[in-house]
Structure 1
């Protein structure tokens, strides 16, 4: 990280002990573990917000119409399903 700020963090002793043990097992500092955990949590929260916003804009009748339409072309060579 090139641009950092400090933040005094208070953790319950039990949480800190587990986090220190995990960081040691992973070969990283406690600071790196906490920074990574916060970044991952923020990414999850933003992803959830993104899909919630998209869900609000969804046009379900249009989707149903698209999924149940008739016609179209059969799969072309190279478009086969691969399981």
Structure 2
């Protein structure tokens, strides 16, 4: 585990204390979790952009051609 010293606007720090208290966790845990969520979102965006860069309309159309042309099950229409 490493230590990091950051400066926060007073209003952000105040809100962090309130929400950490509501969740029953420390401000450090709240900030760590929030950062992990943000990093996960950024990594997901990078992954999707990389996948999109490798895509092609021809491959998409070939995959779609393999999907059977059938009506959905009546239970799935609801």
Match of 2:47 among 42, 47, 50: 50
* Deviation beyond 3 Å, 4+ runs, structure 1: 80-83
In structure 1, the partner of 2:35 is 38
* Runs of 5+ unmatched residues, structure 2: none
Task: Give the 3-state SS of the residue equivalent to 1:31 in structure 2.
Answer: helix
Aligned-residue RMSD, C-alpha: 2.3
| Higher normalized helix content (fraction of residues) | 2
Higher relative contact order (Cα pairs below 8 Å, separated by 6+ residues)? 2
Give the TM-score, by structure 1 length.
Answer: 0.77
* Runs of 5+ unmatched residues, structure 1: 75-79
Give the TM-score, by structure 2 length.
Answer: 0.81
Question: Aligned residues, how many?
Answer: 74
